[in-house]
Amino acid sequence: MAFKYSITLSSFRNVEPLEQTLERLVQQGYDAVEMFGEPEMVHFKSLEQTFNSFDIPVDGITGMWGSMSSEGWKRRILSPEPSIVTNSQKYVQQCIEMCHYFGGKKTNICLFADDKLVTLDGNHYLISEDKKAPVIQKAIPVLSDLSKFAEERDIQLLLEPLNRYSTPYCTTSNDAVRIAEQINQNNFGILLDTFHMNIEEQSFEHAILKSEGLLRHTHFADNNRKMPGYGHIDFRLIIKTLKDIGYNQYISFEPILTYEGYESATKSGLELVKTIAYREL
């Protein structure tokens, strides 16, 4: 079973011009990229021409949630404010339309809430299930409608659990599976991110096995949010477990890169994962 490999272009924002990034990624052997989800900030036609000129496809759209965007404050599906929920729905729909335009197949969604719903103490304990459930339940109709909107455009809508320091309402594969089972639509699945899993999951193996049948995409980053091999996560176990469940989707890298000269990291990280995947055949 051979994987394909992509990387999130949001990792390269403010580092260098897009053309320079794409040229380097193609040379290093990436099969595709994930475009960052800021539909109102890019010119679709010129961006399409840029992707075509480097002959690299767009696998999907990475949602810009929370602190990843200056607009993140109004992208909160779990908000009790109807106007915020409506804006969040519109944003996801725009990302879905953007994904469809560029020929991608996946858009992720994260369940952020207003600060008034995130009543954590200084130790960032998780919200109890009895307090979490009613907040999530109000979002089920919204997620269901968005999933149907995506299905009409042949797009997979993928719920991504985040760690508690981002949002405490969907932090594990168990949380995501419960929500996906309530939505119960073929194009609604799960995206697992190794950085968040390292903080919240009992084990990588358990989380992946729990998500079998729903796991449609993965984000790889080490425990320090650098490329694989620059921290301590056991990617051998992760890749072995992905193979055990017959996962045949993209492995997409989502590191934080805030410096020029990143090319050695993106090259060695990709080569490391490819080597492990080959050995696990």
Is 55 in contact with 26 (CB distance < 8 Å)? yes
- 122 vs 219: which has the higher pLDDT: 219
Is 47 in contact with 99 (CB distance < 8 Å)? no
- Domain borders along the chain are 4-279
The predicted-structure confidence for 232-275, as pLDDT tens digits, reads as follows: 999 999 999 999 999 999 999 999 986 667 899 999 999 999 99
Which helix (DSSP H) or strand (DSSP E) does residue 148 occupy?
Answer: helix 129-151
First CA to last CA distance, the chain: 7
How is residue 181 written in tokens? 């089972």
**Nearest alpha carbon to residue 34 among 54, 71, 63, 14:** 63
pTM of the model: 0.94
- The domain defined by 4-279 folds into TIM Barrel (3.20.20)
The predicted-structure confidence for 207-233, as pLDDT tens digits, reads as follows: 999 999 999 999 999 999 999 999 999
